[in-house]
Amino acid sequence: MSIFLLQLQLLYLGHRRSALGAASLIVFGLCCWFLFTRSIGLPILPSSVLLKSDIAANATEHGGGLAQLSRAIVRNVLESITGRQGILLILALIVVLILSCSAWRKKQYNIAIVIGGLTIFTGLAHIFGGHYGWFNRYEIYVETLVMISALVLGRSYLIKAEVKYSVLFGCLLVIAPYIRSTFLTPKAAQNIYQQQYQMHRFAVEYWKQPIAVNDLGWVSYNNSSYVLDLYGLGSEEVRRLRMTGGEGSDAAKTLFTLVERRHVLLIMIYDNWFNKIPAAWQKVAILNTSQVTAASDKVSFYITPAAPRTHVLDLLHKFGKTLPKGAYLSTVY
């Protein structure tokens, strides 16, 4: 929505052609995307968005209803007013609002409307519909926007020493969690290399067949074989089951059926993400790594009854010898 507000601001500033041209391209692109997804039997929004956002799911899919959509929005607002970063975002928006009103009184209408208006609208949109956390990647954009806008709107006040120190303190308060994340980023990248990238290597360089995972990403990248996402971010059938609670009554049977239907013989998952594992699956190995951004430091390798156990163990043995420092494979017999 913020991008459409930007087009309105361009209109306000007199850039009619740019605003109408950009808006037309955006609408055309969205229409093409919606038609494409519907033509292949997918919802208009990606499965990952629908799974992570109750608001998006209730707003675009049948059966959600206004009541459920309202409850989802209320939950988001409560998350904002009870969480540290959400509270700081609200306080920062109040500062931006005060500075925008000050700019308006000084007849700096363009600055007040364009900078203040866009920032406040985007911040409120995140409070009502956005998320926080997960290595701070969900809210960093809006926190950055609000801080920069506050500095621009309040630049005339920064000549006072007390204002400078207050602004510095406020900035440190907001960015404190992100300082930690910045220092952890090299370790986080190493964690992804140790785990997700090695899973990708095994799937692409050794297994070369359909595979099932519950943490989609590297495994599917440049992988010509089918990848079944048992969490539902990349597999719409699984997402629908999760959203409707279809996997809850007999989770193990559902997992077994999903994997068998897609002719998958090998599964790489976090055990703690599942209440029940199909009894017919046999655990053959565990990939052990560090844990920074990964949901677990252990990835379990399972095979189905139809899988060639000896061949899988041979591949895992060869794969284990190539693992980098900090990652090792333990075989389960």
Which of 120, 153, 182 is the endpoint of a domain?
182
One domain for residues 222 and 103: no
One domain for residues 34 and 143: yes
What's the pLDDT tens digit per position in 159-210?
777 777 777 787 788 788 788 888 999 999 999 999 999 999 999 999 999 9
Instruction: Output the CA torsion sign for 111, 115, 118, 119.
Output: negative
Q: Judge whether 41 and 63 are in contact, CB under 8 Å.
A: no
pLDDT given for residue 66 in this prediction: 77
Q: Judge whether 319 and 299 are in contact, CB under 8 Å.
A: no
Mean pLDDT value of segment 276-301: 92
One domain for residues 277 and 176: no
Task: Measure the CA–CA gap between 219 and 107, rounded to whole angstroms.
Answer: 55
Count the helices and strands in the chain (H runs, E runs).
14, 6
Q: How many CB atoms within 10 Å of residue 112?
A: 19
Task: Using DSSP bridges, classify how beta strands 282-288 and 211-213 pair: parallel, antiparallel or unpaired.
Answer: unpaired
One domain for residues 96 and 171: yes
pTM above 0.85, yes or no: no
What's the pLDDT tens digit per position in 7-19?
788 888 888 888 8
What's the pLDDT tens digit per position in 10-43?
888 888 888 888 889 989 998 999 899 889 888 8
Domain count for the chain, please give it: 2
One domain for residues 150 and 201: no
Sequence-distant (6+) residues with CB within 8 A of 83 are 132
Three-class secondary structure of residue 211 per DSSP: strand
One domain for residues 107 and 252: no
One domain for residues 192 and 250: yes
One domain for residues 22 and 154: yes
Task: Measure the CA–CA gap between 260 and 273, rounded to whole angstroms.
Answer: 20
Which of 148, 182, 216 is the endpoint of a domain?
182
Task: Measure the CA–CA gap between 45 and 38, rounded to whole angstroms.
Answer: 10
Task: Measure the CA–CA gap between 187 and 165, rounded to whole angstroms.
Answer: 33
One domain for residues 190 and 144: no
One domain for residues 209 and 104: no
What's the pLDDT tens digit per position in 292-329?
888 899 999 999 999 999 999 999 999 999 999 999 99
pLDDT given for residue 312 in this prediction: 95
Task: Measure the CA–CA gap between 234 and 163, rounded to whole angstroms.
Answer: 48
In which domain, by residue range, is 26 found?
2-182
What's the pLDDT tens digit per position in 81-106?
898 888 888 988 998 998 899 889 88
Query: Which region among 47-51, 55-59, 110-114, 150-154 has the lowest average model confidence (pLDDT)?
Result: 55-59
